[in-house]
Amino acid sequence: MFEHLLVPLDGSRLAEAALPAAAMLSERLGARVTLIHVIERNAPQEIHGEPHLSDPAEARAYLGEVAARAFSPGVCVEQHVHSSEVSDVARSIVEHADEFGPDLVVMCTHGRGGLRTWLLGSIAQQVIALGVTPVLLIQPDGAAATPGFACRRLLVPLDGNPNHEQGLPVASGLGQACSADLQLLMVVPTLGSLSGEHGATARLLPTATSAWLDMSEESAGEHLRQKAIDLQASGLRVTAEVCRGDPAGAIVRTAQQMQADLVVLGTHGKRGMDAFWSSSVAAQVAGRSRVPLLLVPVREAGS
């Protein structure tokens, strides 16, 4: 399970939305934490209406205060300030992730371009693009108070491809560590939600495509039943559901219905946050839901 968490902070309350998750997981998993702040070249005086940390001494003092305030005394919390000014903060955090070797990056999806725009489109994308480090994205609501974090109900979307289901062992480990319930989900498209080559085929051969989708739904149900049985054998509480429609929409809807605390997604580290099912499912879910996302990089067989 996760043993070392990296938490990027910029000094703002929005960025601190990642702290409850890091604090809870570090205590539950016995993980150490590294808080990091990168000094930005030509940084704005304010970020999110608050003074921007541009002085290394102030940044070190801030990280020390956060360590004492947000984490239990028994948690090992290290702090690092990258004092040499950089133009690309996202790239610097990626390089530090490579240097420090954390097995989970915990961060908030916010930025100057609006909530979920800068970090999701830049830092998270680049970290995922490394293809080695899972990323836990916390979605703030802009409230003054830092939201809490729980890990009681996990939603785990699957697509039947073993290469794309590498988030399942992560979800299983979290479920055992946090005594959480897991819900497995597979989404079979409808005729109207198909796109690309499949969409063209559906328009030409609607009856045949409909029959193919019905068979896919039956296969999905059997696949999920077997996965659920395997997980239940390890003592986990697991349910499974197959639904029809648009993948991102179905994930968001199911997360709302089950009041999920966390969605665990396998995702490809491709430019533009290309996710599983060869589309930007992770980015779409992040844009339509505030449920935290745990993105687990997909490694293709042989890579």
Nearest to 135 by CA among 290, 7, 44: 7
CB 143 within 8 A of CB 115: no
pLDDT tens sequence for the chain (303 residues): 899 999 999 888 888 899 999 999 999 999 999 999 988 887 666 666 666 788 899 999 999 999 999 999 999 999 999 988 887 777 788 888 889 999 999 988 764 433 334 444 456 666 666 557 888 988 776 555 566 899 999 999 987 777 778 889 999 999 999 999 999 998 876 655 555 454 444 444 445 445 545 546 777 888 889 999 999 999 999 999 988 778 889 999 999 999 999 999 887 654 433 333 334 677 788 778 889 999 888 766 554
Question: If you search the block for the tokens 């509480």, which residue do you land on?
Answer: 237
CB 152 within 8 A of CB 181: yes
CB 238 within 8 A of CB 184: yes
pTM of this prediction exceeds 0.85:
no
Nearest to 129 by CA among 279, 248, 299, 15: 299
Complete domains list, the chain, with CATH: 4-138 (3.40.50.620), 153-292 (3.40.50.620)
SS3 111: coil
50-51 vs 46-47, strand pairing mode: antiparallel
Torsion of CA 223, 236, 266, 185, to 10 degrees: 50
